[in-house]
Amino acid sequence: MSADAVPSRPEPTRVAPLAGVRIIEVSLLGPGAVGTHLADLGAEVIKVEPPKGDYIRQMTWPIIEDSSLLHWHIHRGKESITLDLRTEEAQEVFRDLVRDADAVIEAMRPGALARRGLGYEDLLEINPSIVFCTISGYGMTGPYANLPSHGIAYDTWAGIVNPTFNDEGFPYLPEHASIGIHAGPLFGALGVLAGITKARATGEGSFLEIAQSDASAAMDWLRSETWKAYERPQSEVTGNRSDNYERRAPGTAGMEEGVRYQVYESSDGFVLFMASEQEFWKNFCAGVDRMELFERWPGNQYGDHARGNTELRRILADIFKTRTTAEWVEWSGTVNTTIAPVNSPKTLADDPQFADRLGFMPYQDHGADMIGTPLKFIDADLPVPSRAPTAGQHNDKVLADVLGYDAARIASLRAAGALGEGN
């Protein structure tokens, strides 16, 4: 081979990144999304359900074909086996599942599996490299550890959403994006992958835990850390230079008086204008042939919202009403300034960027129209998730194909009530 020769690059295999990874999931309700994220990337996720199944199928609205949207979304791409873990026979099946697995997800109150003799220390004896992830509401420690709760509790606990009042003076929770119930599983999936990486490098297992409340607080770190910073003297912690160093409320709470970073009405909806950088502001003014606005209010180079400039705000309000939202977005790309559409959860599907990047997987295939993983691998093909299973749908398949049980062994398990069928 000559010195200039370059080794040929092999063609990508297109194999999903988590192909060959096996996850055993024991979950109730939303935390089961830990396994969903892994299944979306190609992992084999076997969900072990109680005899009557995970009651997520009947939780909250909407109900689609007798099952909740939560079920259709969170259980996609998984296989389901029902085991009555109160029986010794079912416990032995569970141990067999773990022998060749990479990770176990316990998505319920911590210690649920340990009380059946199936906790981390127990499973290490049969699989020394197993990764054990327990995800719960408030985690394994602290005064709230044993409190029952639901997903919105983690948002109220973390200060993400505050009560408002209706016309009769009753407090209620306004519409908001639930954070803890979604962020917790994402952190959990990240931890599981880190544990598997360690296990394959060292042969050592891992025991990790995540509280959905912790995840909610961690996702909203900017606001909490800002308030904490403001506890220090103002000589040490100030606001932006563009605000004459005046402290503003954390995060979006400090945006109300913004002008160059603000929501404006278009002719058919709303846009978000974000020209806080001087360059983008100058480009905007040139693009609408209003350079006198820049000459009068050039602002600072970075982080300048023209806060409190109501005269400019009224001028911009009139300008933005002259075009549709789509026209402004397209125009912003041609002049290099910052304008984004303002969608709602209802109208997002009509956005061309959404249609190009995400779209909805159709209900005909998945039980409900649903958004898939936002992750994209350029040189690999992610699996198309299978339809969420009924409880115990894969009993025979898992027992025969995964564990290699013969018909007689499977029949004996049924006779012993280990599968909980008919309960």
Indicate if the alpha-carbon torsion angle 54, 56, 59, 61 is positive or negative: negative
Mean pLDDT, residues 276-292 taken together? 98
pLDDT at 9 over 80: no
Residue with tokens 């999304």: 33
Q: Are strands 270-274 and 131-136 parallel, antiparallel or unpaired?
A: unpaired
The amino acid at 306: A
Indicate if the alpha-carbon torsion angle 372, 377, 379, 382 is positive or negative: negative
Cis bond before residue 362 (omega within 30° of 0): no
pLDDT category at 4 given cuts 50, 70, 90 is low
Note the pLDDT tens digit of each residue in 349-375: 999 999 999 999 999 999 999 999 999
As given in the structure block, the two tokens for residue 418 are 């280990």
SS3 86: coil
**What is the structure's pLDDT at 156?**
93
**What is the structure's pLDDT at 167?**
94
SS (H, E, C) 221-269: HHHHHHHHHCCCCCCCCCCCHHHCCCCCCCHHHHHCCCCCEEEEECCCC
**What is the structure's pLDDT at 282?**
98
pLDDT at 252 over 90: no
Q: For the chain, which residues make up each domain, given as ranges?
A: 22-219+366-415, 256-350
pLDDT at 340 over 80: yes
Q: How many CA atoms lie within 13 A of 142 on its CB side?
A: 13
**What is the structure's pLDDT at 3?**
54
pLDDT category at 422 given cuts 50, 70, 90 is low
d(CA 13, CA 117): 41
pLDDT at 151 over 90: no
**What is the structure's pLDDT at 13?**
83
**What is the structure's pLDDT at 423?**
57
**What is the structure's pLDDT at 85?**
96
The strand pairing partners of 203, in sequence order, are: none
CATH of domain 256-350: 3.30.1540.10
Specify the range with the lowest mean pLDDT, choosing from 6-10, 150-154, 203-207: 6-10
Q: Taking the chain, what is the end-to-end CA distance rounded to the nearest angstrom? A: 69
**Average pLDDT taken over every residue of the chain:** 94
Note the pLDDT tens digit of each residue in 256-276: 999 999 999 999 999 999 999
As given in the structure block, the two tokens for residue 343 are 């969608």
- Is 233:247 a contact under the CB 8 Å cutoff? no
Note the pLDDT tens digit of each residue in 210-239: 999 999 999 999 999 999 999 999 999 999
pLDDT at 126 over 90: yes
Share in percent of the chain as helix, strand, coil (round to 5) = 40, 15, 45
**What is the structure's pLDDT at 59?**
86
Instruction: Show Cβ contacts of residue 286 under 8 Å, excluding neighbours closer than 6 positions.
Output: 294, 335
DSSP single-letter state for residue 390: P
Note the pLDDT tens digit of each residue in 45-101: 999 999 999 999 998 899 999 999 999 999 999 999 999 999 999 999 999 999 999
Is residue 89 within a helix (H) or strand (E), and if so which, with residue range?
helix 88-99
Q: What is 22-219+366-415's CATH superfamily?
A: Crotonobetainyl-coa:carnitine coa-transferase; domain 1 (3.40.50.10540)
Residue from 228, 227, 218 nearest 253 by CA: 227
Note the pLDDT tens digit of each residue in 290-312: 999 999 999 999 999 999 999 99
pLDDT category at 253 given cuts 50, 70, 90 is confident
Note the pLDDT tens digit of each residue in 382-420: 999 999 999 999 999 999 999 999 999 999 999 999 999
Q: Between 103 and 175, whose confidence is greater?
A: 103
d(CA 310, CA 312): 5
Mean pLDDT, residues 183-204 taken together? 97
